Amino acid sequence: MLAASSPFSLVLFGASGHLAKQKIYPALYVLALKKRLPKEYCIVGFSRSEMDDSSFREHVAKAVRAGMPEVTEKALSELLSHMYYQRGQYDKKEDFIRLNTRLLKIEKGWENRVRLAYLSIPPTVFAGVLRNLCAGGIHTHEQRGDFRCIIEKPVGHDLQSAEEIQKELSHCFEEKEIYLLDHYLGKEAVRNVYYLRFANPILEQLCKNTLIHHVQISAAESAGLEGRTGYFESTGALRDMFQSHLLMVASLLTMRLEGDEAFRTNRFKAMEQFYLPPATDLNDIVLQGQYSTGELLGRQVAGYTEEKGIAADSRTNTFIALKILSRTARWQGVPFYLRSGKRLEKKETRITIQFQEPHLVGKGSSPNRLDIILHGEAGMRVYMQTKLGGTEPEFRPLILEDPLVCFGDCLPEHGLLLLEAIHGKQQWYLSFNEVRFAWRLLDPIQAHLTKPNTPLYTYTAGTEGPKEAGKWVERDGIHWF
């Protein structure tokens, strides 16, 4: 059972933000509820908002109650007693000096403590925080090995900005102190993509280009902007979902299985084998859409350009479909179709592996298929064929399925990743090699999508996405599952 045994101080930058309220505070509550936190620890929220310790604790309590189906007040009170607030500006060294003074006062008498700085803030303000963490004494060279700098994805908005962030980090931090967090890698179902292959050799034997026709990786979201108007308008679906989430899933599916020690190296080696298919027209390998007004889950929802804070002429995409290929010998020639969109009919993340056409074709026959559903009704389904009675080769589907629910030690993804960071475990964190490659792969696509003459298809909220996306894949002789 993973737990934090040594004292730690966690400074959360962006303490009043959307991510902190939606994910981080509920995750910390679960860690407190499950007694995974030590006796000596502190969580200090740092942001520009006007709050003190008392109002910050009320802010956290409200977020926890809103994010959890039920709350044990004793566990929540215990968590809140370790939480503090420090108001400050990200670019002011003096505010960080005051923060360090307060941390030292709280930490007095602690032994072997770990400090963590969690950047839950836009990449545009990273530089000031990173400089002042060192200039203000939050991190010093004498503390090496006892500090973690956690940066929530996206790391930058393109290759150049990601490299600038890496350069800024290198001035003060060693590689072992840098933790680039993609919460997808904290999901047990996503981790299972790797371990299903590792623990089941039969699956590994099937994962080869001689047997597989194509792969689909879909991340459908029924939600809209959820209070993240500014973030999403400057990001769009490609940067939000593809640059890390979907490429990570594809890498876990295609990476070599060599044990945990080489895990991050092999994950990157798999990722860097992906490439964009040669195309005279990039519209042949990518398609974008934007949702309009529609009905979802029994209620009317606004279109993207009708959302508060969005300009009526915004061309920000909320749906992307992209085709990529892999150079690895095992997967060479197998197309990967990635898609993601907001305000779709249901929330589901799914890997679909469709195998080649059967040798024996008869009435009702269809290719075998493996579905790994990571979010939604999480589970694994194998679609096979069995013959009907009679002399003619007539077939019916045989579906084998089992839920992929978490058994045993189950924690929310941010809670699990935080505990791993406290313990110095980087296996399920991104490397800068992965971040740089992902931007290098997708920057040309992003540039194409922002051109005024690139089609932006409209789709009704509550549907599967643009109708044109179906026609787009049908040209390759497939259909979306």
Tens of pLDDT, residue by residue over 283-317, are 999 999 999 999 998 999 999 999 999 999 999 99
pLDDT given for residue 420 in this prediction: 98
Cβ contacts of residue 440 below 8 Å, gap of 6+? 159
pLDDT above 70 for 362: no
pLDDT above 60 for 99: yes
Average pLDDT over residues 428-447: 98
pLDDT above 60 for 28: yes
pLDDT above 80 for 431: yes
pLDDT above 90 for 159: yes
Half-sphere exposure of 186 (CA within 13 A, CB side): 24
pLDDT above 80 for 114: yes
pLDDT given for residue 226 in this prediction: 87
339 or 383, greater pLDDT: 339
| Single-letter amino acid code for the residue at 379 | G
Phi, psi (degrees; rounded to nearest 5) at 179: -125, 105
Average pLDDT over residues 148-168: 95
pLDDT given for residue 9 in this prediction: 97
Phi, psi (degrees; rounded to nearest 5) at 118: -110, 115
Average pLDDT over residues 316-323: 99
pLDDT given for residue 378 in this prediction: 85
Whether the CB-CB separation of 180 and 244 falls below 8 Å is answered with no
pLDDT above 80 for 82: yes
pLDDT given for residue 421 in this prediction: 97
pLDDT given for residue 397 in this prediction: 82
Instruction: Return the HEC string of 331-396.
Output: CCCCCEEEEEECCECCCEEEEEEEECCCCCCCECCCCCEEEEEEECCCEEEEEEEEECCCCCCEEE
pLDDT given for residue 341 in this prediction: 98
Confidence of residue 145 (pLDDT cuts 50, 70, 90): low
Q: pLDDT above 70 covers what percent of the chain? A: 97
16 or 359, greater pLDDT: 16
167 or 365, greater pLDDT: 167
pLDDT given for residue 311 in this prediction: 97
pLDDT above 60 for 144: no
pLDDT given for residue 361 in this prediction: 65
Cβ contacts of residue 459 below 8 Å, gap of 6+? 289, 290, 291, 292, 319, 341, 465, 466, 467
**Active centre residues (catalytic):** 245
Q: Where are the beta strands (DSSP E) in 57-211?
A: 83-87, 114-119, 147-152, 178-181
pLDDT above 90 for 257: no
pLDDT above 70 for 360: no
Query: Which of 105-114, 133-142, 266-275 has maximum average pLDDT?
Result: 266-275
Chain mean pLDDT for the chain: 93
Domains along the sequence of the chain with CATH:
8-152 (3.40.50.720), 185-409+432-474 (3.30.360.10)
pLDDT given for residue 124 in this prediction: 84
Cβ contacts of residue 59 below 8 Å, gap of 6+? 16, 21, 51
Q: State CA 225 to chain mean position distance.
A: 16
pTM of the model: 0.94
pLDDT given for residue 364 in this prediction: 61
